[in-house]
Structure 1
Amino acid sequence: MDGAGQQVGTWPRCAAIFGASGGIGSALCSELAARGVATIHAGSRSGRVPQDQAIRPFRFELEDETSISAAADAMRNAPPDLVIVASGVLTLPDGTGPERSYKSLDPVVMARVFAANTIGPALVAKHMLPLLPRDRRAVLAALSARVGSIGDNRVGGWHSYRASKAGLNMLVRNFAIELGRTHKQAVVVSLHPGTVDTALSEPFRANLPDGQLTDPDGAARNLLGVIDGLIPADSGQQFDWKGGRVPD
């Protein structure tokens, strides 16, 4: 990854955040607004997103392709040059958490996790990648997780979550290859935000060492800092919040 920081302040012209009501997504909207981005499309299921004159809320359901398609159509006349998929699930709404053992695998649970972490972001990409400009820099970033790295897996467990994020990372690579044929300045990446003080990580922070928990505002600044430095040669890769490559 090389520097592209000279574009900060003029890029992005327009951004779209899918998952803007979550801790990181909300913070990304606020940080982009503070940077002076003119238009920020902020999507959520509830419609509750940060308030700012630059923020334009929209509703979507990650598992409803029609709602994603409608959101993309609404942006077609003024398309974003930065798209971030900030949604995902670790613990299901009914309290079902990541599996500790293969003996706990449940196909229904696995399907729900993959729907949220892999299929949903893929559908966002399906409808948003065609909107990205061909004549200038454009980025689509999806929030992933270090535990989705196959090469970095040393402890196992968390089967559905790991596999769903590994699947997302593979799709990011595929999308980067395909988009690179027509959009020479475009970048498609997955990003590991670290352990962030959100509802997603709350049940799993008991033994976290001091200094390894980041607040959402800090996480948003870190992620946007990484995005600022991306170049087309980085497309298809996964980066952590410090800008380091995460193994495949």
Structure 2
Amino acid sequence: MSVINNINNANTLIVGANRGIGFGFVSKLLENQEYGKIYATYRDRNSASELIAFAEKYPQRLICLSMDVTDEQQITEGIKFISESTDKLHLVVNCVGLLHDGKLQPEKSLRQLNSENLLRYFQVNSISSALLAKHLLPLFRHDSQSIFACISAKIGSIGDNRLGGWYGYRASKAALNMFMRTVAIEYGRKSPNTIVVTLHPGTTDTRLSEPFQRNVPPEKLFSVERTVNQLFAVINNLGKEDSGEFFSWDGSRLPW
């Protein structure tokens, strides 16, 4: 079995914890007294009021820090801050993802492509995880098992692409999968007790999916709590042989 079931007082880091799936992970971790320190990042303090309120309620366990994962200097500083209080992380989940914002919307055709938007997708959805892997390595290099999981999306599967469209989001999630597959190979040499995976959470009722929920059957639109429980079940069953793989919320392997 995985790190989740084998280590008491496991130290965790949830990246992008101020809302959605990331906030759900923090909530679930706080329910379980077997976990030790929980580090949680947010980009904008104004959108992190619930998370910060949790930190005030659980000051001995939950430590919040600001981190924009598109800025490598902020990643460096954030991990340095964590390293000052612990030399080990056992579970890291990167929940940061971008599908749309005020001006960015998924493209329906080639006519809508522009390099600025494409670069933004890759900065947030792909490059950030590779940079996290770069700087987290020292905190994973210990004798206990550990897991580094990144939230990907089935839509990033090249083999499963039947509908087209959504160029930037699809390609950036496919790039995330390739980054993490490659990280898993290097970690296999440098941090052999670390399992690296990407996870498809299913369509979850969050701000990311909200504009696109109209055609989603009710039984396929998951609450945040359900999504987190399902992903924890996948994480709990990971073994060393699973490092570098891409899993769906139900534990099945997804095609690249």
Give me the TM-score of the superposition, normalised by structure 2: 0.91
**CA separation in 2, counterparts of 1:92 and 1:118?**
17
SS of residue paired to 1:180? helix
User: What displacement does 1:19 show?
Assistant: 0.1
- Following the alignment from structure 2 to structure 1, what is the Cα–Cα distance between the partners of residues 195 and 39? 19
Choose the corresponding residue for 1:39, options 37, 40, 43. 37
Q: How does 1:188-207 map to 2 (within 5 A)?
A: 188-207=196-215
Whether the aligned pair in 2 keeps the contact of 1:12 and 1:82 (CA below 8 Å) is no
- Structure with the largest fraction of helix: 2
Determine the structure 1 residue equivalent to 2:11. 14
- Equivalences for residues 114-125 of structure 1 within 5 A: 114-125=122-133
Aligned alpha-carbon RMSD (Å): 1.6
Between the aligned partners of 2:22 and 2:9, the Cα distance in structure 1 is 16
Check whether the contact 2:130–2:183 (CA below 8 A) recurs between aligned residues.
Answer: no
1:80 alignment partner in structure 2: 89
Aligned pairs (5 A) from 1:212-227: 212-227=220-235
- The 1:121/1:182 distance shift into structure 2, 3 A limit, reads closer
Change (3 A) 1:130 1:6: closer
Distance 1:93 1:226 in 2: 33
Secondary structure of 1:150's counterpart equals: coil
Cα gap change, 1:235 to 1:11, in 2 (>3 Å): farther
* Matches of 2:247 and 2:141, distance apart in 1: 23
- Deviations along 1:72-117, one digit per CA (max 9) or x if unpaired, are 11122413111110001001332x2111111211111101111110
Distance 1:33 1:85, change over 3 A: same
Residue 66 of structure 1, aligned match among 73, 86, 90: 73
TM-superposed CA distance for 1:46, in Å, is: 2.4
Contact 1:118–1:168 under 8 Å retained in 2? yes
Q: Kindly, what percent of the aligned residue pairs are identical? A: 38
Question: Take 2:239 and 2:8, find their aligned partners in 1: how far apart are those partners?
Answer: 13
* 1:114-153 pair list within 5 angstroms: 114-153=122-161
The 1:34–1:158 alpha-carbon spacing in structure 2 relative to 1, beyond 3 Å, is same
CA positional deviation for 1:182: 2.6
What is the match of residue 171 of structure 2? Answer: 163
Q: Is the Cα contact below 8 Å between 2:38 and 2:62 reproduced in 1?
A: yes
Q: Report the residue type matching 2:98 in the other structure.
A: V
Residue 174 (str. 1) matches residue 182 (str. 2): yes
CA distance in 2, matches of 1:43, 1:190: 19
**Contact 1:190–1:237 (8 Å) recurs in 2:** yes
Map Cα deviations across residues 9-34 of structure 1 (whole Å, 9 max, x no partner). 73561000110012100010010111
Cα distance in 2 between the residues matched to 1:9 and 1:189: 19
Structure 2: distance between partners of 1:110 and 1:7: 36
State the alpha-carbon separation in 2 of the partners of residues 118 and 61 from structure 1.
Answer: 14
| Contact 2:15/2:40, CA 8 A, preserved across alignment | yes
Report the CA distance between 1:7 and its aligned residue. 4.7
Gaps of 5+ in 2: none
> For residues 117-138 of structure 1, what are the alpha-carbon distances to aligned partners after superposition, in whole Å with 9 as ceiling and x for unaligned?
0112221111112310331111
- 1:29 is aligned, of 26, 35, 45, to 26
Distance 1:188 1:93 in 2: 32
Structure 2 Cα separation of the partners of residues 131 and 210 of structure 1: 41
Q: Normalising by structure 1, what TM-score?
A: 0.94
